[in-house]
Amino acid sequence: MPEVSIIVAVYKAEDYIRRCIESILSQTFKDFELLLVDDGSPDKSGEICEEYAQKDDRVRVFHKPNGGVSHTRQYGLERTRGKYVIHIDPDDYSEPTMYEKLYNKAIEEDSDMVICDFFNETIYGNFYMLQRPTSLSANDVLHDLLSGKIWGTVTNKLIKKECFEKYNVTFPKDINLWEDLFVCCSLLRNNIKVSYINEILYHYDNITNQTSMVRKITLKSVQDQDAFIRHFSDIMTEEELYFRKENTLLRAFAGRVMSAEEFRNFYPEINSLYIQKHKRDFKHIEPFLLAMLLKGTNEKLIYTLYDTTTRLVFLYRKIRKIMGGRK
C-alpha cells in the first residue's frame, strides 16, 4: 500500500489539469497514489485523467455525477489507501520536493498534520503566504485558522488518514465554500499533533481557473459561510466571530446578493450601526467592486481585490486603534 494518497477533485479542468498531474508525477517522493476524481466534467478532463492512468499505475481515476467540490473530496478520501492524505486543486501545482518533505516531517515527528507555506499567484504577482502558527498546539492552530491568520486550505496540509476515521471527520455534504476550513477545524478540535515546515512547497494559482466556485459571489456561497460560522461559533472568540461575520457581510454586499435589510434578517444579532460601520469602512472598495461586476469585469480581478481586502480587515482595524484613529 502507498504511504501517501493525493486527491484531486477534477471539474472542467482540461486547460490546466496536465500541469497539476505532471507536478505530482515528477515528485522526488515516489511512494504515493494519485486519485483523480472526475466530478461529472462536461469537457475532456475525464479523458485526460484516463490517459495518465494508462501511463502510470500509481494513478487511479474515478468518474462520478457532479456533486460539488466537498462531495468530491470526500468521495476521494473514502477510496484512499495511504497512511497520509493530501489534496491538490487541479489549477494548482506542487514543488518537486513537496511530498517528500511533508512525509519526512510527519514520520520524523509522528505528526497528524504537517503544514507548509505556499505562493499565492495573482495578477499582481506571487505572494509568499507564511503559514507559521502561533504555536504547534492544536488549539492555537485552530484559532489561527478561525482568526484568518493562516489559511484553512487542505492543499498545504499532509494529514494522517486515521485521524479522519478516529474523530469521525468528513467533508460537509452541502457546503462548497470553506469546506476545507471546516475539515481542518474539525480535526484540530481533537488535539492532534501538528508540525510545520517554513518553506514554500505549493503554488495556489489565483489566475488560471476563471470558473472556480470559490471566486463566484452567490447567495449559496454566503449561506455556506454562515453554516460554517454557526457550526463553530461555540469555540470562536468574539474577535474571530467578528472577522468571520464581517467576511460574510463583505461577500454578500460585494456580490449584491443581499441588501442591508436582508442581512439583518440573516444575522438578527447584527444591528444597523454595525452594517453602516462596515459600509463606511469599505465605502471606497464596495462601489469599485460593484462597478466591475456590472461591467462584467474578469471575476479573477474582483476576487483578488475582495480576498486581499478581507484579509487586511483585522490589520487595518488594529492599526487604527493603535494610532488612536476614529472607530
Q: Assign 248 a pLDDT band (cuts: 50, 70, 90).
A: confident
Domain assignments of the chain as residue spans, ordered by start: 4-200, 216-322
Which of 199, 194, 86 lies closest to 140 in space, CA to CA?
Answer: 194
Above 80 in pLDDT, residue 124? no
Q: Assign 54 a pLDDT band (cuts: 50, 70, 90).
A: very high
The fraction of the chain above a pLDDT of 90, given in percent, is: 63
Above 60 in pLDDT, residue 177? yes
CB contact set of 245 (below 8 Å; sequence gap of 6+): 229, 267, 270
Is 11 within 8 Å of 45 (Cβ atoms)? yes
- The reported pLDDT for the residue numbered 290 is 44
pLDDT tens digits along 55-105: 999 999 999 999 999 999 999 999 999 999 999 999 999 999 999 999 999
- The reported pLDDT for the residue numbered 27 is 98
**Cα gap 100→114, rounded to integer Å:** 12
The DSSP result for 108-128, as a single string, is HHT-SEEEEEEEEEETTEEEE
Whole-model pTM: value is 0.82
CATH architecture entry for 4-200: Alpha-Beta Complex (3.90)
The distance of Cα 149 from the centroid of its chain, to the nearest Å, equals 13
Which of 306, 210, 208 lies closest to 251 in space, CA to CA?
Answer: 306
Mean pLDDT of all residues belonging to the chain = 84
CA distances from residue 299 to 169, 279, 289 in whole angstroms, order as listed: 33, 22, 10
* SS3 of residue 153 by DSSP: coil
Enter the C-alpha cell of residue 46: 475525464
